Amino acid sequence: MLSQTPAALGYRMPAEWEPHAATWLSWPRREGISFPDSFGRVLRVLRAMVEALLQSEQVCINVCNAAHEAEARSALAGLPNERITFYRIPTNEPWCRDHGPIFLTRDRDPKLAAVDWDYNAWGNKYPPFNLDEVVPTHVAEVLNVPAFYPHMILEGGSIDVNGAGALLTTESCLLNNNRNPNLSRDVIEQRLRDYLGVQDILWLGHGIVGDDTDGHIDDLARFVSERTVVAVAEEDQHDENYGPLQENLARLREIKIANDKIEIVTLPMPKKIVREGLRLPASYANFYIATTCVLVPTFGDPADEVALSILRKCFPGRRVIGIDCRELIWGLGTFHCLTQQQPAV
């Protein structure tokens, strides 16, 4: 069966707002590189994230071994653990959006499948990544679902879909020579169509300053319905994000799905956050849509409430929950980067 592509077999990648069976996480390792000198402070943010998710759905957590599981359980002590399942799937770092499986669904059995894209830690920036690279296959094994292998490097944070055939991505990431230097744009587009069940590939340009992923779409623009995209915009013309984000907005205004232009809702950007001389990629677009709630990173910024208000209008049927991510963003990602949805079937 797996000699055919997922699209040929009737699979598609659902939109994030479609119902979930679970949210997958990879628990960070104290000895990992993601949160230097702030691991303990980050655990408080992770607990708040899990607490909110448990009100919505099951939470599946990858851990390396018994000691790692015990550390995670300690951080989550007092939460309703009947909705938490730990899996002995070791990882290097906690960014499950990028190293986890992309789940697909269809109407006939097997209804759920996983895509195991190749992974090289955002262009070989952060070795080792040998454990992260094989996470999707391990998840497919524990769930007993088919796994597909496109033989192309792709991180989950680099794409966003509307569940009805359209996919958003960026040239700065997917066309970067540190990902798939031997694949042309046309070949990359065809792999996306074959392995995610999409038709329309919608390209934006560059990402925000400080984003070590080379411009993941989940810091820039996100579908919130089949025809509506929220996109971040920088109002300060002197900020280095102003030009690239204006160019992305201009591209969005020209995009059509089935001959109709999309609706664009703009989100503000928080003020520049610099730590130890590094500008951090803080963005309200890195929200995560769970079944009954939306987790939104906040940054102790006056724009926090503006962003939350905008997203509440986009998701009237869900609780929109802001959680302070000033420590979490030191790892260069927030809630969308940490999570991977398993759709309900």
Annotated active-site residue in 60, 96, 293, 337: 337
The token duo for 38 is: 């702030």
Sign of CA dihedral 261, 263, 267, 268: positive
Could you tell me if 233 and 249 are in contact, meaning their C-beta atoms sit under 8 angstroms apart? yes
> 211 vs 92, 161, 219, 257, CA distance in Å?
19, 21, 8, 28
Sign of CA dihedral 44, 318, 168, 62: positive
The span from the CA of 293 to the CA of 168, in Å, is 23
Q: What crossing angle do the helices spanning 66-75 and 39-54 adopt, rounded to 10°?
A: 70
CB 40: neighbour CB atoms within 10 A?
A: 11
Phi/psi zone of residue 212: left (φ > 0), alpha (ψ -120 to 50 degrees), beta? Answer: alpha
Active site annotation includes 337: yes
DSSP structure class, residue 101: P
Name the helix (H) or strand (E) containing 185: helix 185-196
Q: Report the catalytic residues.
A: 337
